[in-house]
C-alpha cells in the first residue's frame, strides 16, 4: 500500500505550508528593526537585510551601506518559505478546483517556480553575488503575483463569485505592475523598496490568507 498523503490529507498539508511561507514577513520586520545601518524600507530592497557582512552594495545609482545582524533569520525564512511553497503546491495539486485542470496545473507550476526561486534568494545573499542573487530572485518577484492570484482563483471558493474573480485579478495585477516598475526604474527614483514590497508582500499575504482559510475550514 502507498504511504503518500491521500486526498483528505492534502488540504491540511497545503494550508499549513501556506501559513508557514507567510512567516517570511515577520522575519523581515525583525531583521529591519535590528539593522545596524540606516535602513529605508521605501528606498532599499528586502535583500539588503540579507547581506551577511557589514559592507556597501554597489548599486547602479551608488553604493548603499548595509549591516544586518539578523541576516540568518531573513535568509533562513526565505529558504523555509520556498520549501513551504513547493510543499503547498504538491498538496494543492491533489485537490480539485472549480477553475478546471488547466488553471490548477498553471497555479501549481507557478507556485513551484516561485518556491524554488525563493529558496535560491535565501541561499545566495546579494553581498555574496549580486548578479546571481538578482537573477534567481526574478521568477519569485515576477511570477509570484500570478501564482497567488491563480491559487486564490482555484481554491478560495468552490463557487467563486464575480467579485472574488475581480479580487483575484487585482491581487495579481497590482503586484505584477509593481514588479515591472521596479525592474524598469531600477533604484534611480528611490522607491525600489516600496515597489518590491508591493510585489512580494501582496502574494505572500494572499497565500497566507488562503492557508488560514484552509486551516479554519479544516477545523470547522
Q: pLDDT tens digits, residue range 150-206? A: 999 888 876 556 677 788 888 888 999 999 998 887 655 788 899 999 999 999 999
For cell 474573480, what's the residue?
Answer: 165
Q: pLDDT tens digits, residue range 116-164? A: 999 999 999 999 999 999 999 999 999 999 999 999 988 887 655 667 7
Q: What is the DSSP string of 99-164?
A: T-HHHHHHHHHHHHHHHHHHHHHHHS-TTT-HHHHHHHHHHHHHHHHHHHHHHHHHHS-SS--HHH
Q: How far apart are CA 50 and CA 70, in angstroms?
A: 8
User: 47 by DSSP, 3-state: which?
Assistant: helix
Q: Collect all residues with Cβ–Cβ distance below 8 Å to 113 and sequence separation of at least 6.
A: 139, 143, 147
Q: How far apart are CA 14 and CA 32, in angstroms?
A: 29
The pTM for the full model equals: 0.89
Amino acid at each position: 500500500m502507498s504511504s503518500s498523503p491521500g486526498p483528505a490529507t492534502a488540504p491540511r498539508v497545503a494550508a499549513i505550508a501556506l501559513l508557514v511561507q507567510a512567516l517570511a514577513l515577520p522575519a523581515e520586520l525583525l531583521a529591519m528593526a535590528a539593522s545596524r545601518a540606516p535602513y529605508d524600507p521605501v528606498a532599499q530592497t528586502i535583500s539588503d537585510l540579507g547581506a551577511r557582512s557589514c559592507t556597501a552594495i554597489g548599486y547602479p545609482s551608488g553604493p548603499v551601506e548595509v549591516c544586518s545582524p539578523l541576516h540568518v533569520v531573513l535568509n533562513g525564512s526565505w529558504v523555509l518559505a520556498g520549501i513551504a511553497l513547493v510543499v503547498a503546491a504538491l498538496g494543492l495539486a491533489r485537490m480539485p478546483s472549480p477553475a478546471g485542470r488547466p488553471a490548477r496545473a498553471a497555479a501549481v507550476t507557478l507556485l513551484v517556480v516561485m518556491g524554488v526561486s525563493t529558496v535560491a534568494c535565501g541561499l545566495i545573499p546579494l553581498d555574496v553575488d549580486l548578479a546571481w542573487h538578482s537573477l534567481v530572485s526574478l521568477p519569485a518577484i515576477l511570477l509570484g503575483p500570478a501564482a497567488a492570484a491563480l491559487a486564490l482563483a482555484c481554491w478560495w471558493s468552490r463557487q467563486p463569485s464575480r467579485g472574488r474573480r475581480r479580487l483575484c485579478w487585482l491581487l495579481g495585477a497590482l503586484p505584477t505592475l509593481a514588479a515591472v516598475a521596479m525592474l524598469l526604474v531600477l533604484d534611480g527614483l528611490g522607491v525600489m523598496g516600496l515597489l518590491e514590497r508591493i510585489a512580494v508582500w501582496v502574494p505572500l499575504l494572499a497565500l497566507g490568507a488562503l492557508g488560514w482559510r484552509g486551516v479554519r475550514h479544516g477545523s470547522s
